[in-house]
Structure 1
Amino acid sequence: MAQVFLGLGSNRQRHHHIAAGLRALHKQFASAEYPMRVASVYESEAIGFAGHDFLNTVVALTTDLSVIELSKSCKAIERAHGHPSSAARFSPRTLDIDVLLYDDKVCDSPVQLPRAEILHNAFVLWPLAELAPHLYHPVKGQTFAQLWQNYRGAQRLQPIEFPFEDLPYLITPNNA
């Protein structure tokens, strides 16, 4: 079983799509033996294009899927919630789910691991540091708490109140 961290983001019907993404991931991955954990939800500005603010969070889960199977599963959830696979990289999103970490795997294919944006985007690093402060970045060799403490980006980011659903085997900031 692999310990996996996924980044979720949305800037179109944001609350609805973040909640829908969490439900879909929960349905597929959460169990009594392997509960799913979710960080606080953060509001951030759009990066790379002019657009509405995003809501972002990070989810920790355990899976026996391979990296490619997990990536395909995430893309299927995105498509089911209105995100076409042909969408430009820097564009509005109903739901975006990215594999950030898969155990301590380092690779460039089938997806880049660890995902480079961990080190560059506050909306990924802060919730990751919240969920796994003592976990080490597999390339940098620093904990995510250390990386967040030393982060020097200028992105606007703030935690928000988010109405998490009361789902079994889901650990949220409200019930941690």
Structure 2
Amino acid sequence: MNIAYISIGSNIGDRLHHLVEAVRALQSHERIEVTKLSSIYETAPVGYTDQADFLNLVVCVATSLDPYELLAACQEIEIGLGRIRDIRWGPRTADLDILLYNNDNIEAEKLIVPHPRMGERAFVLVPLLEIAPAIRHPVTGVPFNVADDDGVILWKKADGVGRLL
């Protein structure tokens, strides 16, 4: 069984509903089990800033999917939740990013793991470290840490996977 960490964000419409539905879709996949779920955090947008604030969380999953199959499953969930890719880093109903997949280092055209910008993004690191406080970068072996978590606001404390769903 493979272990992966996936960041989920939403800033269009009913943001909480989109997060819940994304987690529910992951959990309902026959080859994915959501094993841990962070609290939900609200953050300002990064990159393209002329948009609404995001709700973000991170899940840990156990899966028999290979990383490319997991990516395809994540993209299917995004499409199912109405994601339209027209502005880079723009508004979205759901964004699912594979942060880590086992201790693999993947550099392919369609998938880079560890996620290339995760170390710079408190909205990813804060929820990741909540559910995996001792996690280390698979390539460098250095523990992840949050240099500045300003702007990452606890929106809803985690009660576990079953309670969110």
- Give TM-score, length-normalised by structure 2: 0.88
CA offsets per residue over residues 119-167 of structure 1, 9 Å max, x none?
A: 01100011111111112111232223xx22xx147x5111112686x8x
Percent of counterpart pairs with the same letter? 33
Residue 113 of structure 1 corresponds to which residue in structure 2? 113
RMSD after superposition? 2.0
Any conservation in 2 of the 1:38–1:58 contact (CA below 8 Å)?
Answer: yes
Aligned residue for 1:91?
90
2:49 corresponds to 1:54: no
Measured after TM superposition, the shift of residue 20 of structure 1 is: 0.8
Tell me the equivalent position of 1:157: 152
Q: Does 1:68 align with 2:68?
A: yes
Cα distance change on mapping 1:152 and 1:139 into 2, 3 Å = farther
1:12-38 deviation per Cα after TM superposition (whole angstroms, max 9, x unaligned): 1211101111111111122xxxx5211
1:142 matches 2:137: no
TM-score, normalised relative to structure 1? 0.83
Unmatched segments (≥5 aa) in structure 2:
none
How many equivalent residue pairs? 159
Residue of structure 2 equivalent to 1:44: 43
* C-alpha separation in 2, matches of 1:108 and 1:17: 29
Q: Which ranges in structure 1 are unaligned for 5 or more consecutive residues? A: none
Residue 24 (structure 1) aligned with residue 25 (structure 2) = yes
Deviation at 1:66, TM superposition (A): 0.8
Structure with bigger strand share is 2
